[in-house]
Amino acid sequence: MGWFGKIFGSEKKRAKASRKKAHDHPKAEKAVSAVRRKVSEAHEHASDLKAGLVTAAHQQALTLHMLTHIPSHHPRENDPHYHLFEQAKSRLKRQGLWKCAIEDDLCEGQPELHHTHVEFSQINQVDPKLIEKHLGLHFEADEDFQEWVESPGNLEVLCVNHHRAHYGIHVIPGPLWDAVRYRKKGTKAAAEFLSNAEVEAMAKSEVKAAAKKAK
């Protein structure tokens, strides 16, 4: 090997050794492994999708018709425990907690108090013993249960949107609403409620778009 080859051969060796040294660094090795893993997962996901093992992202329209059974009950304002509900609301406001528990980019509207475990209208339909068992509670008498229904233990602050509107717990089935509650920032909500008027408007818009495309 001539002097030219010796010089540049040595340079190549040093460069190779330098790359190996950098690669052997724990942080560099971790970064390389992460990239390799992501590439591998991407290839695996693509092959699974092609093979029909993974369902592609899609939207699915569901129409729900529910028959709710509301037993007879006193108006809220006449309930002897209603003052406890108002006290809980005042306490939350004083403590700076009068804001939606979800607190994300889908929040909209004023805060409201939601009955988390037992709705007031269902108070005569639930078994206090089952509530005790499920939540680890103990009621000495029925009066204790009645008070608990209007207490912080059964109340949660939600904005209008997460309570009874577009992404509301009262209009979206439980399993889907739980996904809305724990939605990763920047992702699409698992479900959203559309009124009849909104559905009709969307249908008209799609018809117009199809007609325009056909021209």
117 closest CA partner among 159, 169, 193:
169
Please tell me which of 52-66, 70-84, 125-139 the model is most confident about, judged by mean pLDDT.
Answer: 125-139
110 closest CA partner among 161, 155, 172:
161
Mean pLDDT for the stretch of residues 44-65: 65
Q: What is the mean pLDDT of the chain?
A: 81
For the cut 90, the answer to whether the pLDDT of residue 168 exceeds it is yes
For the cut 90, the answer to whether the pLDDT of residue 12 exceeds it is no
Helices 3-24 and 26-51: angle between axes, nearest 10 degrees: 80
- Can you tell me which residue has the tokens 């325009």? 212
Tens digit of pLDDT for each residue in 85-141? 999 999 999 999 999 999 999 999 999 999 999 998 898 899 999 999 999 999 999
Contact between 84 and 150 under an 8 Å Cβ cutoff? The reply is yes
Of 49-58, 137-146, 180-189, give the lowest mean pLDDT range: 49-58
Segments making up each domain of the chain, as ranges: 3-51, 76-197
pLDDT grade for 195, boundaries at 50, 70 and 90: confident
Rounded to two decimals, the pTM is 0.67
Contact between 150 and 81 under an 8 Å Cβ cutoff? The reply is yes
Q: Cβ-count burial of 119 within 10 angstroms (0-12 exposed, 13-18 middle, 19+ buried)? A: middle
